[in-house]
Amino acid sequence: MSHQLTIEPLGQTIEVEEGQTILDAALRAGIYLPHACCHGLCATCKIQVADGEIDHGDASNFALMDYEREEGLCLACCATLESDVVIEAEIEEEPDALNLLVEDYAGVVSRIEELTPTIRGVWIALDRPLVFQAGQYVRLQIPGEASPRAFSIASAPGLAGEIELNVRRVPGGKGTGWVHGQLKAGDRVQLLGPYGRFFLRQSAHDAEGLGYLFLAGGSGLSSPRSMVLDLLAAGCERPITLVNGARSREELYHHDAFVQLAAEHPNFTYVAALSDEPEGSDWAGARGFVHEAAKAHFNNDFRGHKAYLCGPPLMIDACITTLMQGRLFERDIYTEKFISAADAQQVRSPLFRKI
């Protein structure tokens, strides 16, 4: 049995199936509600229930405290409907959002490549093309796991019949352990997408004459790679800079291809920075973390750019601080944090005292 969900302030009413979460129903209807972990842990998708009954599902007690439940708050990624419901959500207007509907997709793994000792490239030939905006991600179904895992699409949108994912193995991680340990060419996989608000704000770049700055760490190269390839394929003439961080030379991947792209496109600059490369190796490029390499490259002045940051939470936080010290405002910084269950679990209520 389905129920009706009215989303204010849009005033839009959608159908929600039994057991379907509010977030899933909204995204499949092309309505973006803010969200991040999709596990009931990070609280990004907290919304107000104005009318009707819901079931809180697996919302963690840290992300949604008892008093918040009593005040009618819920987590959209876990909550299901028990009657017709009205919610109030913060819906931001984004002129560059295509608001593509989230749908189910299936495909065959066409190729697997060890990009580094910890990152696998997985190419999936889809049964039907997936239309997405460069920077967006899919959620891959993992056998035996209820919650699909998020992976950004590393290929350009123009090749939507086949997508490339770059998956870093997380120690103790079930999904990435399966991708690295069992998944092979020829296997069938299922995924959902496209997800996310990490896409190019081209209208603002054009209106304000701003350049593109991408800061990537580890497998966080995936979204910026898709965005850079998309911009270059479209003939973008604005300055594009990619600062790509890895621990060591063996953890640096797609490096030669970016060096080649920079040689072919005068408006594209590529900076690779290694944070843990042994002293005395033959690496002649930048050393240090991504934010340090960016600061040195731009002489601590990032004005005239919008910045797109993608990678682990610590890297993103360090980059935001550096960019703001280098005179970029928060409104010009977009982030995609590669949080896992462990990171999301660390997001505590402000009432949870730090010790």
State which of positions 319-348 bind ligand FAD (CB under 6 A).
336, 338-342, 345
State in angstroms the smallest separation of the CB of 222 from ligand FAD: 4
Q: What is the spatial distance between Cα 243 and Cα 263, in angstroms, rounded to a whole number?
A: 16
Q: Which two structure tokens, joined as six digits, stand for 157? A: 């949108």
Q: Footprint of ligand FAD on residues 246-265 (CB under 6 A)?
A: none
Number of residues that bind ligand FAD (CB under 6 A): 26
List Cβ neighbours of 92 (8 Å cut-off, separation of 6 or more): none
Residues between 115 and 144 that touch ligand FAD (CB under 6 A): 137
CB 36 within 8 Å of CB 42: yes
Does residue 226 bind ligand FAD (CB under 6 A)? Answer: no
Binds ligand FAD (CB under 6 A): choice among 149, 201, 305, 306: 149
Name residues whose C-beta falls within 8 Å of residue 321's C-beta, 6 or more positions apart in sequence: 291
CA 236 to chain centre: 23
Strand partners of residue 274: 246, 287
Indicate which single residue of 105, 151, 268, 308 sits in contact with ligand FAD (rule: CB under 6 A).
Answer: 151
Cα dist. 230→100, 158, 226 in Å? 17, 8, 6
Looking at the Cβ atoms of 9 and 171, the one nearer to ligand FAD is 171
Of 152 and 241, which CB lies nearer to ligand FAD in the complex structure? 152
* Chosen residue from 219, 241, 275, 322 binding ligand FAD by CB under 6 A: 219
**Bond preceding residue 129 cis, omega within 30 of 0:** no
Answer for which of 22, 122, 167, 273 binds ligand FAD (CB under 6 A) is 167
Contact region with ligand FAD (CB under 6 A), list: 6-14, 101-109, 166-174, 269-277: 166-174
Distance between CA atoms of residues 153 and 158, nearest Å: 12
Q: Is the CB of 167 or the CB of 272 nearer to ligand FAD?
A: 167
At closest approach, how far in Å is the CB of 335 from ligand FAD? Answer: 10
Rounded Cα gap, residues 127 and 119, in angstroms = 25
Choose one: 7-15, 25-33, 149-157, 228-236; the region binding ligand FAD (CB under 6 A): 149-157
CB of 267 vs ligand FAD, minimal distance in Å: 26
Residue 62 interacting with ligand FAD (CB under 6 A): no
What is the per-residue binding string for ligand FAD in 168-207, x denoting contact by CB under 6 A?
A: x-xxxxxxxx------------------x-----------
State in angstroms the smallest separation of the CB of 304 from ligand FAD.
Answer: 28
Contact with ligand FAD (CB under 6 A) among 141, 222, 241, 275: 222
* Residue 318 Cβ vs ligand FAD, minimum distance, rounded to whole Å: 18
Nearer to ligand FAD by C-beta: 241 or 340?
Answer: 340
Closer residue to ligand FAD in complex, CB, 16/167: 167
Distance in angstroms (rounded) separating the CA atoms of residues 89 and 86: 10
Cβ count near 209 (within 10 Å): 8
Q: Which CB atom, from 171 or from 280, has the smaller least distance to ligand FAD?
A: 171
**Contact between 150 and ligand FAD per CB under 6 A:** yes
Q: Give me the residues that bind ligand FAD (CB under 6 A), please.
A: 137, 149-152, 166-168, 170-177, 196, 219, 222, 336, 338-342, 345
